[in-house]
């Protein structure tokens, strides 16, 4: 099996069972941004040594594959083999709450930075926000599962809190903007 098909050389990509779409179609763009996000989380995972965060990041990577497949099959839901579970958003909320209870209350804005894992999580958070905007744009023209929108919104919050948490357990003080 070759590692390329050449079918996209003219600027079109195929979706699951739905013909060809321009590579700048919102649904194709969102799939690409979800993939970029998953890769950024993979980098953050490499630098993360905390087992609590590592386990959740692995779950998130799997969820993002499910989300990508769901978006790719948005025009033909019969082809969607996996769906984002009803508890996926709640799982992120629980993880956010659990880490939040372990840290002092946040009272100021935070400048992204800190330990190696945290800086990669902050970057992944920014990519998650862009991927979320892209999924919202795709939902205007394609039938995107609404659970995906909630998940993408909560995911950026999770990544932010995870970065703060890792800085906290590493003893790295957060920087705050001065106005």
Q: Would you give the distance in Å from CA 90 to the centre of its chain?
A: 15
Residues 42, 154 contacting (CB under 8 angstroms): no
What would the mean pLDDT of 97-109 be, rounded to a whole number?
A: 95
- Does residue 12 belong to any structural domain of this protein? no
- Does residue 43 belong to any structural domain of this protein? yes
pLDDT at 17: 66
R_g over Cα of the chain: 18
Q: What is the pLDDT of residues 106-116, one digit of tens each?
A: 999 999 999 99
pLDDT at 143: 83
- Does residue 13 belong to any structural domain of this protein? no
pTM of the model as a whole = 0.92
- Does residue 119 belong to any structural domain of this protein? yes
**CATH code, domain carrying 40:** 1.20.1200.10
Q: What is the dihedral of CA 21, 86, 82, 31, to 10 degrees?
A: 30
Of 8-17, 69-78, 85-94, 123-132, give the lowest mean pLDDT range.
69-78
Sequence-separated (6 or more) residues with CB below 8 Å from residue 55:
none
Q: Identify the domain containing residue 139 by its residue range.
A: 18-170
pLDDT at 121: 98
Distance CA 33, CA 64 (A): 10
Q: Give me the chain's average pLDDT, please.
A: 92
- Does residue 92 belong to any structural domain of this protein? yes
- Does residue 46 belong to any structural domain of this protein? yes
Could you give the number of structural domains in the chain? 1
As a whole-number percent, the residues of the chain with pLDDT over 70 amount to: 94
**Alpha helices in the chain, H assignment, sequence order:** 26-47, 51-72, 88-101, 116-139, 146-170
Distance CA 41, CA 47 (A): 10
Q: What is the pLDDT of residues 35-87, one digit of tens each?
A: 999 999 999 999 999 999 999 999 999 999 999 998 988 765 555 566 888 89
Q: How confident is the model at residue 170 (pLDDT cuts 50, 70, 90)?
A: very high
- Does residue 141 belong to any structural domain of this protein? yes
Backbone angles phi, psi at 86, to 5 degrees: -60, -30
What would the mean pLDDT of 154-160 be, rounded to a whole number?
A: 98
């Amino acid at each position: 099996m070759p590692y390329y098909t050449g079918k996209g050389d003219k600027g079109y990509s195929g979706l699951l069972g739905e013909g060809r779409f321009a590579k700048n179609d919102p649904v194709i763009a969102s799939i690409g941004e979800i993939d970029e996000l998953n890769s950024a989380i993979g980098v953050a995972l490499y630098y993360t040594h905390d087992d609590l965060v590592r386990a959740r990041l692995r779950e998130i990577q799997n969820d993002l594959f499910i989300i990508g497949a769901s978006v790719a099959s948005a025009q033909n839901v019969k082809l969607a083999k996996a769906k984002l579970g009803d508890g996926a958003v709640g799982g992120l909320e629980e993880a956010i709450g659990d880490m939040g209870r372990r840290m002092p209350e946040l009272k100021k804005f935070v400048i992204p930075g800190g330990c190696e894992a945290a800086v990669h999580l902050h970057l992944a958070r920014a990519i998650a926000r862009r991927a979320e905007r892209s999924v919202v744009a795709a939902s205007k023209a394609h039938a995107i599962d609404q659970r995906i929108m909630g998940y993408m919104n909560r995911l950026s919050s999770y990544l932010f809190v995870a970065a703060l948490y890792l800085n906290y357990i590493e003893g790295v003080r957060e920087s705050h903007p001065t106005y």
